[in-house]
Amino acid sequence: MSQNEIPTIGIDFGGTSIKLGVVLGSQVIAQAPSIATQEYETPEELIQAISQFVGMLRASHPEASAIGMGMPGFVNHYEGTVFTLTNVAGWDNIPVRDLLQAATGLPVCVENDANCMAYAEWQLGAARGKKHAICLTLGTGVGSGIIVNGALLRGATCSAGELGQTSIDYNGRLGHYGNRGSLEDYIGNKELAADARSMYASHGQDKTIVDCNPITLEKAALNGDQIALKIWNDIARKLACSLINCCYLFNPEVIVIGGGVSKAKALLFDPLQTFMREQMPEPLIKHLQIIPAMFGTEAGIIGAARLARDTFSGETNA
């Protein structure tokens, strides 16, 4: 078995659960049971639990010799630390890499979870072969990663590429970090549902929050609900605002969109492309592709594992 074929362990660290799997190429060939994140009081306790599940995976795949872990929030890839986790208490300036390496005896790399998704799509998925790409996932928040000149953009402190925190209204809603009008405060799932409910109410219709989640709104729009269609049009317009800024800054070849909201397909992608083409010159839009992500819920595991594989095999694109 050549070095490039050696399986690697990928970990997707979420605020609710942690998923672990053994990855070979673009396939998750084995998975451990998920870990309930909130059941552990300290980072050290949770790291030990992760280590035990890593051991479970290695029992059946002893050739897996490295670990990649994607985490939400600001992650310093080079130092192996997480600055803070807003949805998990106690995770402030934690040396994640060193703790997990000590617990497992394996080399570990850590990265922002959206960067892992972007890395998976760039190396193995919808953006494969491109040198300039923007990849984002739309869900509870807006996660994103940016590829520039054939490399993952990290920035001075590994904090670059946070599209969800960019502003679409300088007088807008107050964000978590004191920023105004951040994109995810308008098209994150909870905010989207609350705004949709308000729009229905303005038309004399009382809807529950469940009635206004992306899946229900998609079904309503496909059934000809004019308010739902207007909501999807509004989502596309807001997303276009941020993506147009990115195009002017980075001139990507492709924009890859994943996550729950992206499953609406034409309801989102058609107006999104229209709005973007109306507001950009030909050099920016002529060859630009705006396409769905290839990987779904396994993108984080696949990307984290691929990043670890490339990091420890000396690949320059890591």
**Cβ atoms within 10 Å, residue 223:** 8
Judged on CB neighbours under 10 Å (0-12, 13-18, 19+), 198 is exposed
First-to-last alpha carbon distance for the chain, in angstroms, is 22
Residue 290: beta bridge partners?
A: 255
pLDDT value for 3 = 47
**What SS3 state is found at 57?**
helix
* Residues in the chain, total: 318
Which residues in the chain show pLDDT less than 70?
1-4, 315-318
pLDDT value for 87 = 84
Q: How far is Cα 215 from Cα 184, in angstroms, rounded to an integer?
A: 18
The Cβ-side half-sphere exposure at 303, using a 13 Å CA radius, reads 33
Residue that is written with structure tokens 């760039």 in the block = 122
| Domains in the chain, CATH or no CATH each | 3-117+298-313 (3.30.420.40), 129-292 (3.30.420.40)
pLDDT value for 175 = 92
Q: Tens digits of per-residue pLDDT, 118-166?
A: 999 999 999 999 999 999 999 999 999 999 999 999 999 999 999 999 9
Q: Tens digits of per-residue pLDDT, 59-81?
A: 999 999 999 999 998 999 999 99
The pTM (predicted TM-score) of the whole model is: 0.95
pLDDT value for 86 = 80
Amino acid, res. 74: F
pLDDT value for 1 = 41
Q: How far is Cα 39 from Cα 313, in angstroms, rounded to an integer?
A: 35
pLDDT value for 38 = 94
DSSP H or E segment with residue 28? strand 27-31
Question: Between the CA atoms of 127, 129, 134 and 137, what dihedral angle is there, to the nearest 10 degrees?
Answer: 30
Q: How far is Cα 70 from Cα 158, in angstroms, rounded to an integer?
A: 13
Q: How far is Cα 123 from Cα 253, in angstroms, rounded to an integer?
A: 15
For 83, 164, 265, the CA distances from 175, given in Å and listed in that order, are: 18, 10, 28
Q: How far is Cα 294 from Cα 70, in angstroms, rounded to an integer?
A: 18
Q: How far is Cα 304 from Cα 12, in angstroms, rounded to an integer?
A: 7
